[in-house]
């Protein structure tokens, strides 16, 4: 159904044009983009700043290294292959375990080593990179879902997207893959988005394909009782990525590992707008609240998170 522009404006919905002009180009210096557009750089930087990230198991830079990939793979049971410059979750291949020499993907389909080599060479050729430039493939540890999350997701690990504006977490959502989204966590592919209360990490509102739902379409778990554990730590982790990158408007993707707790998965300098649908609330009022704060003042991440939890909680919208 359609809505009039004044109606959306009253709701404080941030549109694509406004996001690009008023936030991304104003708060994100172009020179800092490579830090987040290249996952390898993000990873190394995060390690420097002591932000937890999934363990890096290998980097494939040249075509000839692909032949030797089998050895790397043999040392690992499950792993994830990602293009360093991929966007929108493109080109990510997650292998959960091995069966009869085959690799089992997160969707449950098994593939052979040739498929993986082909995928790697596609990555190196730049098929998934933003501008089609040559790329490198990074191989990292598989993330083991926390039990609570495992029940929620159809396949793959649910991740938490937090919009961080000038270091303040302003809006968050939990993304659950579905069979429709082929284990991917992208909302437009059919993943479920669950808006989270910044104050508590509890679910507010869940949507799939821009429609409200109450239960996960595959697992049938109720979605209105979710409470993300370690919520404050997650927010602080996300908030610290501001100091790390110097980007004012970013989307931080985090996961909660069974063993290692909250981890930073990747950062996005052009975070999508569907988080508003998942939250049933517009970003604009929150962004404007932060814009009113003194720019010269930069309190530590803990204080920023405390401020955000207080101001952006569902009790005081």
Partner 1 sequence: MKIKPFYLVVALLIVAGISLAWIRHAQLHIPLRPGQTKPVWLIEARIDFVAHGNPVTVSLDLPDNPPGFRCVSEQAASLGYGFTIVDGATGRRAEWTRRHAAGPQTLYFKLQMVPDDTEAAPETPTPTPEAPATVYWHELQATAAQQVLDLAYERSSSPISFARELIRQLNADPPDQNAALLLDEYPLPDLLRRLLNQAGIPARISLGLELEDARRYQNLKPVLEVFDAPHWVPINENSGAHGLPENLLLWHRGGQSLLDVTGGQRSDIRFSMIRQTMPSMDLARLQFDGGGLSRFSLHHLPIEEQSVFKLLLLLPVGALVVTFMRLIVGVRTAGTFMPVLIALAFLQTTLLPGLAAFLGIVSMGLVLRGYLSRLNLLMVARISTLIVLVIFLASVVSVLGYELGVQVGLTLTFFPMVIIAWTIERMSILWEEEGSQEVLVQGFGSLCVAIIAYLLMRIAIVGHLAFNFPEVHLVLLALILLMGQYTGYKLTELKRFGVMGDQR
One of 48, 75, 114, 295 touching partner 1 (CB under 8 A):
114
Mark the segment that binds partner 1 (CB under 8 A) among 102-110, 113-121, 218-226, 246-254. 113-121
In the region spanning residues 137 to 176, those forming contacts with partner 1, defined by CB under 8 A, are none
Q: Among residues 117 and 260, whose Cβ is nearest to partner 1?
A: 117
Q: Among residues 15 and 261, whose Cβ is nearest to partner 1?
A: 15
In the region spanning residues 37 to 96, those forming contacts with partner 1, defined by CB under 8 A, are 63, 90
Strands 211-212 and 249-257: unpaired
Q: Is 298 in the site for partner 1 (CB under 8 A)?
A: no
Alpha-carbon distance of 171 to 210, in angstroms, equals 17
- The angle that helices 301-311 and 231-245 make with each other, rounded to 10 degrees, is 120
The alpha carbon dihedral of 259, 120, 44, 160 has a sign of negative
One of 32, 41, 56, 126 touching partner 1 (CB under 8 A):
126
Mark the segment that binds partner 1 (CB under 8 A) among 114-122, 224-232, 240-248, 262-270. 114-122
Alpha-carbon distance of 47 to 208, in angstroms, equals 34
Distances from the Cα of 118 to the Cα of 39, 93, 112, 115, angstroms: 21, 12, 10, 5
Q: Is 210 in the site for partner 1 (CB under 8 A)?
A: yes
Distances from the Cα of 126 to the Cα of 86, 136, 187, 221, angstroms: 9, 8, 24, 39
Mark the segment that binds partner 1 (CB under 8 A) among 27-35, 154-162, 275-283, 297-305. 275-283
User: Residue 180 Cβ, how far from partner 1 at the closest point, in Å?
Assistant: 9
Q: Is 277 in the site for partner 1 (CB under 8 A)?
A: yes
- Long-range (24+ apart) CB contacts under 8 A made by 313-317 are 313/197, 313/198, 313/199, 313/200, 314/197, 314/198, 314/199, 314/200, 314/204, 315/199, 317/281, 317/285
Contact residues for partner 1, defined by CB under 8 A: 1-5, 7-9, 11, 13, 15-18, 21-22, 63, 90, 114, 117-118, 121-122, 125-127, 189, 205, 207, 210-212, 276-277, 280-282
């Amino acid at each position: 159904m359609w809505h009039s522009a004044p109606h959306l404006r009253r709701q404080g919905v941030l549109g694509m044009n406004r996001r690009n002009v008023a936030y991304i180009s104003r708060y994100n210096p172009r020179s800092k983009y490579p830090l987040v557009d290249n996952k390898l750089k993000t990873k190394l930087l995060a390690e420097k700043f002591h932000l937890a990230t999934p363990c890096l198991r290998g980097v494939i830079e040249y075509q000839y290294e692909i032949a030797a990939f089998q050895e790397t793979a043999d040392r690992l049971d499950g792993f994830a292959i990602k293009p360093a410059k991929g966007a929108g979750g493109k080109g990510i291949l997650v292998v959960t375990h091995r069966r009869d020499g085959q690799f089992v993907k997160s969707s449950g389909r098994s593939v052979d080593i040739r498929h993986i080599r082909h995928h790697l060479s596609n990555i190196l050729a730049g098929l998934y990179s933003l501008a089609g430039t040559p790329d490198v493939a990074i191989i990292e540890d598989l993330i083991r879902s926390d039990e609570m999350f495992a029940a929620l997701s159809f396949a793959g690990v649910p991740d938490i997207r937090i919009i961080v504006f000038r270091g303040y977490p302003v809006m968050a959502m939990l993304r659950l893959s579905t069979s429709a989204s082929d284990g991917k966590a992208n909302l437009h592919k059919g993943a479920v988005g669950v808006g989270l209360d910044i104050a508590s990490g509890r679910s507010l509102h869940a949507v799939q394909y821009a429609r409200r739902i109450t239960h996960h379409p595959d697992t049938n778990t109720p979605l209105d009782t979710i409470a993300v554990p370690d919520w404050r730590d997650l927010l602080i982790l996300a908030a610290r990525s501001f100091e790390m990158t110097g980007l004012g408007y970013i989307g931080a993707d985090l996961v909660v590992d069974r063993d290692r707790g909250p981890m930073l998965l990747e950062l996005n300098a052009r975070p999508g707008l569907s988080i508003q649908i998942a939250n049933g609330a517009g970003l604009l009022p929150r962004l404007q609240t932060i814009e009113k704060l003194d720019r010269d003042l930069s309190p530590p991440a803990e204080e920023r998170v405390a401020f955000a939890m207080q101001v952006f909680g569902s009790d005081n919208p």
